[in-house]
């Protein structure tokens, strides 16, 4: 007859073996399941959206998404919210179309009330966004304005805060972009307009908004791969995007003392009205996005979740950072 210690070792050894078998069984099952094919819903990023070259097209600035071929996907039928921004109050510039529109739709479906700013001639696109925000059951405030002056920026922030009953998310997204092959082709008027829209307005709107934003608020700036690697045909535009990167990092250090986070999203080639309103050199539309490792341009809908993540408390330790979305070619 075995002693008590020996019996105990045998029992424990048997239990350990049974435990290992129980742990190993699901693993084996997972391996078998994996061999049957990829999980339902898994999509190849190379083919999630069209890889076909975009047809040559041009619209007068600032252009309308509703007249683009193909029409950009802003997540109108695909984005599903989960309450990550419930009760929040957001102002987004350049939100009638493109990346700003995708973020506005996502914010509303995540539970935020949303104020959108847009250039006055973009009213047809803006009306669609307002309808989508309201369909999500959230308050929508539409504020058409040319934001190239300090007075316009201050008024915009005041109208947004009044309409929303406060402000705790600011997305500086509006931009002006015109491609020119040589510096000699960039007029002084174009250079000034690019800086006024892309960086001066960002500075002025942020300055006006910060005193209204409580601790826990967030500022998200839209930069670019051009913030790191300037396109030679976008000399003035890329210069503003480089400034936005530094502005984001510097402001984040200042506002950390107030409990306000500041981050940047750095898109690569994204199919937005900027491209058809002078953002591409004549005759080169078909090349747009084709040189990325994924072999295509991105769609605005593919960036929406990045803005939601940075705006949410889930990213509470992220400030002064930049998040890329460029199909594999760019920084960060």
Residues assigned a catalytic role: 237
Cα–Cα nearest to 268, from 277, 279, 281, 283: 279
Cα–Cα nearest to 258, from 220, 213, 311: 213
- Distances in whole angstroms, Cα of residue 84 to Cα of each of 87, 133, 307, 310: 9, 16, 12, 11
- Distances in whole angstroms, Cα of residue 27 to Cα of each of 20, 21, 293: 11, 10, 33
- Distances in whole angstroms, Cα of residue 7 to Cα of each of 13, 15, 319: 10, 12, 59
Show the tokens assigned to 101.
């529109």
DSSP state, residue 73: P
Residue 149, C-beta contacts closer than 8 angstroms, at least 6 positions apart: none
- Distances in whole angstroms, Cα of residue 289 to Cα of each of 105, 307, 331: 24, 22, 15
8 three-state secondary structure: helix
Element (H, E) at 170: strand 169-172
Residue 186, C-beta contacts closer than 8 angstroms, at least 6 positions apart: 180, 235, 236
Question: What's the chain's Rg over C-alpha atoms?
Answer: 24
> What span, in angstroms and rounded, lies between the C-alpha atoms of 274 and 66?
13
Element (H, E) at 264: strand 261-267
**Checking DSSP bridges between strand 113-118 and strand 89-92, what pairing results, if any?**
parallel
């Amino acid at each position: 007859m075995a002693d008590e210690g020996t019996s105990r070792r045998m029992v424990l050894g048997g239990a350990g073996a049974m435990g290992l078998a129980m742990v190993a069984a699901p693993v084996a099952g997972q391996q078998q399941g994996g061999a049957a094919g990829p999980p339902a819903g898994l999509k190849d990023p190379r083919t999630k959206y069209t890889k076909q070259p975009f047809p040559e097209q041009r619209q007068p600035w600032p252009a309308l998404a509703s007249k683009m071929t193909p029409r950009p996907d802003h997540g109108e039928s695909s984005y599903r919210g989960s309450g990550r921004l419930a009760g929040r109050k957001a102002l987004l510039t350049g939100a009638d179309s493109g990346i700003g529109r995708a973020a506005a739709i996502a914010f509303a479906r995540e539970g935020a009330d949303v104020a959108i700013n847009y250039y006055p001639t973009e009213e047809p696109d803006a009306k669609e966004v307002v309808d989508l925000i309201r369909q999500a059951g959230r308050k929508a405030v539409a504020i058409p304005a040319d934001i190239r002056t300090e007075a316009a920026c201050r008024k915009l922030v005041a109208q947004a805060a009044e309409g929303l009953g406060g402000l705790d998310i600011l997305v500086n997204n509006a931009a002006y972009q015109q491609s020119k092959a040589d510096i000699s082709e960039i007029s002084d008027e174009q250079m000034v307009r690019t800086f006024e829209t892309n960086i001066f307005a960002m500075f002025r709107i942020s300055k006006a908004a910060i005193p209204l934003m409580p601790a826990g608020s967030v500022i998200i700036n839209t930069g670019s791969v051009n913030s790191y690697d300037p396109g030679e045909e976008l000399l003035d535009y890329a210069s503003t995007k480089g400034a936005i990167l530094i502005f984001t990092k510097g402001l984040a250090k200042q506002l950390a003392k107030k409990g306000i986070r500041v981050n940047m999203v750095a898109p690569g080639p994204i199919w937005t009205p900027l491209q058809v309103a002078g953002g591409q050199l004549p005759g080169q539309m078909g090349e747009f996005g084709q040189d990325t490792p994924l072999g295509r341009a991105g769609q605005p809908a593919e960036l929406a979740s990045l803005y939601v993540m940075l705006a949410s408390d889930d990213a509470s330790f992220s400030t002064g950072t930049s998040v890329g979305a460029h199909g594999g070619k760019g920084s960060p």
